[in-house]
Structure 1
Amino acid sequence: MTGDVVDLIMQDHREVERLFDELQKHPEKRRLLVPVLSSLLTAHSRAEEAHVYPAATNEASEAEDVAHGQKEHAEAEQLLVKLNNTDPASKQFEKVLSDLVEAVTHHVKEEESTILPKMRRELDEPRRRELGDAFVAGRTLHLGDRPGEATKEELLTQARNAGVAGASKMAKEEIFKQVLKS
């Protein structure tokens, strides 16, 4: 067993905050740290979307907050794509990084004040540990995935989490747009 899913998610949040701090304070490390940040955030999001968000919706009655969180994941992924495509030495990089930090910090604050506490209250410890195992396995599977390259199946999961109807009949690009709109 790997641990309580709530604790594991919060550990990832702290690591992302540490990486943001490094990126802001040490511009010379950006070329090395951007791929690390991108990989961690993408893997974290995919694992949450596949394993944690469905449980939060179905077992902790958090459908509205999950839909909102899913939209924030999609927005952060767009910013990650932009960050990866921006010269780390440019002023534009500073702006994109600032936007990403603001978006992810907002998302983390909301998730840690709504979804995660309710999961801790509503799900017993064995279930949270089971979800922890699934979260770690999902995150491991997706380490190395690049932002903006989700499969149609992953996008359909995002659409379900966001409450988008009729997504199975949409093209990948349309699914992503609908998740962002939701």
Structure 2
Amino acid sequence: MTATGPTDLISVLMSDHREVERLFAELEAREGTVEHRRELVDHVITEVASHVIIEETWMFPVFRTYVEGGDRIADQEMKEHVETERVMKELEGLSPAESHFEELLSRFIADIRRQIECEENEIFPELGKACPPERLRELGEKALHAKETAPTRP
């Protein structure tokens, strides 16, 4: 993968992944009050929701343009985003004290980790090789700006 700097699109998305993983680790520790766990889940949902918007707005279109077979992969990822949004909406409506909450949260974490693994091991390397660095920097700047205004709910 070609690194183009801390503000290229891939670096911005990787930074999101690290933040989500940090939050997942805290959630998996199952420490803190019910209210604290609710705040953590809300923070994860905010992070994932803005990340999904950035991917759908900038990453997938450029992936489709520059990567051979990009349409098929992007279409599959978009289908996974639909399920991710459904689960986030369901999590929003549950209290961490409800029995179904932990099961749903565990499934959500596993699904997001699979998406992160796919992106970091397949999508980002292909995009980094195929897309011009200046285009990745331009899209990274747009993504950073969008994070300030993007919807934070699924």
1:119-138 correspondence to structure 2 within 5 Å: 119-138=127-146
Partner residue in 2 for 1:9: 13
SS at match of 1:86: coil
Which structure 2 residues correspond to residues 1-182 of structure 1 after superposition, within 5 A? 3-25=7-29, 26-28=31-33, 29-61=36-68, 62-143=70-151, 145-147=152-154
Aligned to 1:153: none
More relative contact order, 1 or 2 (CA 8 Å, 6+ apart): 2
Give the whole-Å Cα distance in 2 for the aligned partners of 1:22 and 1:104: 15
In the aligned structure 1, how far is the partner of 2:99 from the partner of 2:28?
12
Q: Match of 1:89, SS?
A: coil
The two structures, once aligned, show a CA RMSD in angstroms of 1.6
- Matched-pair identity in %: 30
Tell me how far apart the structure 2 counterparts of residues 56 and 42 of structure 1 sit (CA, whole Å). 20
What is the CA–CA distance in structure 2 between the aligned matches of 1:131 and 1:142, rounded to whole Å? 15
CA distance in 1, matches of 2:143, 2:125: 17
| TM-score normalized with structure 2 length | 0.88
Distance 1:111 1:2, change over 3 A: closer
Q: What secondary structure is seen at the aligned counterpart in 2 of 1:111? A: helix
- In structure 2, how many angstroms separate the alpha carbons of the residues matched to 1:58 and 1:27? 45
Unaligned runs of 5+ in 2: none
**In structure 2, what residue type is equivalent to 1:31?**
R
Question: Equivalent residue of 1:30, what SS?
Answer: helix
Contact map agreement 1:52 1:135 (CA 8 A) in 2: no
User: For 2:78 and 2:137, how far apart are their aligned partners in 1?
Assistant: 22
**Aligned-partner Cα distance in 1 for 2:6–2:113:** 25
